[in-house]
A and B are shown apart, each in its own frame.
Chain A
Amino acid sequence: MPERAKPTLSQSEHSVRLAGCWTLATLARAPQGLRAAIAKAPREALWDLHDVVALDTYGALLLWRAWGRSIPTKSAIPPEYQALFQRLQKHVAEAPAARPKRDPLAWVTATGALTLTLVSHITCFVALLGQLVIECLYVLRTPRRIPWLEISANLHKAGVRAMPVTALVAFLIGVVLSYLFALQLKRFGAEAFIVDVLGIGVIRELGPVLVAVLVAGRSGSAMTAQLGTMRVTEEIDALATMGVPRHLRLVFPKVVALGIAMPLLVAWTCAIALAGGMIAAYFELGLDFQFFIANLPRAVPLPNLWIAICKGVAFGVTIALVACHFGLRVEPNTESLSGNTTRSVVAAITLVILLDAVFALATRNVGLGRG
């Protein structure tokens, strides 16, 4: 096939003859010797291109660069290839635009930009919160405007569908914890206290945080991605154009649904984790189920349950708010979507842990009874 003919260069005393196919495809496979030969060939010789079968922009560029970014005075270039060289001459001959130089003070601008981003995140978040309060007041005055359908859909997606995975994780964690505690407690002959340790640990601390981390990864990221995609496809703008308040229709149901689903999930997770712990205690310590269940109310005073439920509500609302905050900030491109989804999950988990610390401080005198 003539199109694949190898590019060749033959040099006589005063002329350089090129032949074959000088295109990107053939030159990419040409031996390194050819490049060297082009570079070595004298610039002032007569360059004869009449035997060249095909020449494309890359072939022309290679020659043109070898000629020192100009067309040699003595050259025999067939008319059909003239335009290629003229195009090069026109578009790249003048010093090519350089990449903008790195600013030596770039770190100052970067710090400033970071601060401004942080400030804008905080103001946006506060605005979102305020908007949500307004929507809540509005909905309380006009209850027929409550978006029941969206709330129940979100409840199903973030709550019911999360039950299997939270159950699995909770059960395994319960078994593992119970086993580790049993080993330690055996050394002190304090086997019976496993009910206290597991009860307080799981209900007060581990259950809510475990569910929050799972839900942030599962539902928080989904919410951010959903809102983000709706931004990309202009669906949110379409809603706004139809006079549907986006906070009421998109943010409010998610926050309410997660606020309801999370405490329920916390209860479910705690129950499963305790069941796992109970089974492990039975095998490891020979503690029977009746003893475990009968001692649980004594070991875990009622306020602990209320703390767990409150944590559930607070964590759920936080996760949903953070997810919506980042989802609404997505700009219509793929980078922004992936970046905001990541940030949403990381921020939600961090905030949940911070909130947990606040809870621990605020409730340090509550529910620990027999101190």
Chain B
Amino acid sequence: MNGVPPVELCGIGTRFGRHWVLRGVDLTVQRGELLALVGGSGSGKTTMLRQIVGLLPPTEGEIKLFGESLHDGNRDELAARRRRFGMLFQHGALFSALNVFDNIAFPLREMRCLPEAEIRDLVFTKLGMVEIDRDAAWRMPAELSGGMIKRIALARALALDPELLLLDEPTAGLDPDRSAAFVTLIRTLHQALNLTVVFVTHDLDTLAALANRLAVLAEGRILATGSLDEVVQVDHPFIQRFFLSERSMHALRRGKGTD
């Protein structure tokens, strides 16, 4: 069961109108990796993430999750595959009509076979895992701070014990202290739950602290993959600008320091 990579992209191309955002992208994510998709603004990072979860069909190429194509099979098989990954959206995307408890319970209730008592214990386990006080369970999303929303959205993404976790800009909008804490939390959960994590970021602190493999996107393709040290060696103007400027070097050193 360790042989099948959670995510496989083969020759992905995406076109918006007449403009190719991505072209000929191949990428394989192995089990247990913490892969960062890096690139400048508009380089197609978020597009790629949305394609992996099936929100956006690619113009060409094929995407396989856990060795199966995302859109194969009947309704039950599709649903079962979707439960194997969780996604954290940039702004949390908590349902504003539901309180925190019901937000996390939502995917569990959608299974339609769990008794309420078990759902309750599961929700409080997840809340504990993301270090949210249990009294916060009855508050509405509108009453929460940005950092709490991210944590609760993470708890919701983890509600079904997914094997693959996708994060869109996990630390955007958080202060440095909170974002460091959030990065630590994700690292801890990654180890504890045996997760595969794919995340998009352009925050170098987060990148250095979290990723154990990088894929650099620019000019509509993947320029380089590998560990941070390997990627930095690649001789390409974008990579040189992105990673080796004075500011970037500083951020990267700082990020590594938080390990």
A residues near B, CB below 8 A? Answer: 1-3, 23-25, 28, 56-58, 61-62, 65, 83, 87-88, 90-92, 96-97, 99-100, 331-336
B98 to chain A, nearest CB (A): 10
A87, B1: Cβ atoms closer than 8 Å? no
B173 on the A face (CB < 8 A)? no
B96 touches A24 (CB 8 A): no
The contact size tier of chain B is: 20 to 34
Is the CB–CB distance between A333 and B113 below 8 Å?
Answer: no
Interface residues of B in 115-157 (CB under 8 A from A): 117-118, 120-122, 124-129, 134-135, 137-138, 141-142
* Nearest CB in chain B to that of A91: its residue: B128
In this complex, which of B96, B118, B121, B141 has the most chain A Cβ atoms within 10 angstroms of its Cβ? B121
Instruction: Give 8 closest A-B pairs by Cβ, nearest first.
Output: A91-B128, A333-B96, A56-B161, A97-B134, A92-B124, A91-B125, A92-B121, A333-B142
How far is B111's CA from A28's CA once the two chains are assembled, in angstroms?
8
Nearest CB on B from A233, distance (A): 12
B125, B138, B192 — which one has the most chain A CB atoms within 10 A of its CB? B125
B31 to chain A, nearest CB (A): 12
Tell me the bound Cα distance from A332 to B192 in angstroms: 36
Contact partner, B125, options A3, A24, A61, A83, Cβ 8 Å: A61
* B83 at the binding interface (Cβ < 8 Å): yes
Q: Check A57–B96 contact: CB distance below 8 A.
A: no
Q: Which B-chain residue is minimally distant from A23 (CB atoms)?
A: B161
Question: B55 near A: Cβ within 8 Å?
Answer: no
Interchain residue pairs with CB less than 8 A apart (16): A28-B113, A28-B114, A57-B122, A57-B161, A61-B118, A61-B121, A65-B118, A65-B121, A87-B129, A91-B125, A92-B121, A92-B128, A96-B120, A97-B135, A334-B96, A334-B97
Distance in Å from the Cβ of B91 to the closest Cβ of chain A? 11
Query: Would A1 and B83 be within 8 Å (CB), given that A61-B122, A65-B118 are in contact?
Result: no
- CB contacts (< 8 Å) of B111 on chain A: these are 24, 28
Q: Is the CB of B137 within 8 A of A58?
A: no
Q: Are A91 and B142 in contact (CB under 8 A)?
A: no
Partner of A91, one of B1, B83, B127: B127
Once the chains are docked, how many angstroms separate the CA of A332 from the CA of B94? Answer: 13
Q: Are B1 and A97 in contact (CB under 8 A)?
A: no
Is B9 an interface residue when CB atoms closer than 8 A count as contact?
Answer: no
Q: Report how far A333 CA is from B139 CA in the complex, Å.
A: 14
Q: Which residues on B sit within 8 Å (CB–CB) of A100?
A: 138
- A62-B118, A100-B138, A334-B97 as given contacts; A87 in contact with B128, CB under 8 Å: yes
- Given contact pairs A88-B125, A100-B138, enumerate 5 new A-B contacts (beta carbons under 8 Å): A24-B161, A57-B125, A87-B125, A91-B125, A99-B138
A87: chain B residues within 8 A (beta carbon): 125, 128-129, 192
Q: Check if B161 sits within 8 Å of A96, measured CB to CB.
A: no
Complex interface: chain A residues within 8 A of B160 (CB): 24
**A interface footprint on B93-105 (CB within 8 Å = 1, 0 otherwise):** 0001100010000
- Determine whether the beta carbon of B124 is less than 8 Å from that of A96: yes
Q: Which residues of A contact B122 (CB under 8 A)?
A: 57-58, 61
Q: How many angstroms from the CA of A332 to the CA of B80 in the assembled complex? A: 34
A336 to B84, CA, bound (A): 33
Q: Which residues from B are CB-within-8-Å of A88?
A: 121, 125
